[in-house]
Amino acid sequence: MTRRGTTNRNDRGSAQDRRARKLWLLQAFGDGTTAPCAAEVHHKDCPGALTLDTLTVDRIIPGCDRGRYTRDNIRPAWGPCNSVHGSRLRASQPMTNRK
């Protein structure tokens, strides 16, 4: 099995860290309750407006390129939009660069 090398379980922080990060994204990108999906590629069913429950954290510079969960490198995304972006990134990588 080929690993992508982006699981970053330790980099994401605790549950409290992840919740605080989502709340910050709602404030920084939206009105505090909702924020628009800022993914580069959108899933066909993207709801557009995200809430604390539907928001996922998308890194602008991905983990496979050593992107970290810092405020200048994150944006709100809907889970399936985030997955579409990750799938396209993986498909664009040469097989020799994959972990």
Q: What tokens were used for 85?
A: 């972006």
Residue-range domain boundaries for the chain = 15-97
* Arithmetic mean of pLDDT, 22-32: 98
Q: Residue 35: beta bridge partners?
A: 50
Measured CA to CA, the distance from residue 49 to residue 67 in angstroms comes to 25
- 38-63 pLDDT, tens digit per residue, is 998 888 999 999 999 999 999 999 88
Confidence of residue 91 (pLDDT cuts 50, 70, 90): low
> Which is higher by pLDDT, 82 or 47?
47
Asked whether residue 88 carries a pLDDT value surpassing 70, the answer given is no
pTM: 0.75
Q: Are 58 and 50 in contact (CB under 8 A)?
A: no
Q: Is 66 left (phi over 0), alpha (psi -120 to 50) or beta?
A: left
- What is the total residue count of the chain? 99
**In the CATH scheme, what architecture does the domain 15-97 have?**
Orthogonal Bundle (1.10)
Q: What is the pLDDT of residue 56?
A: 95
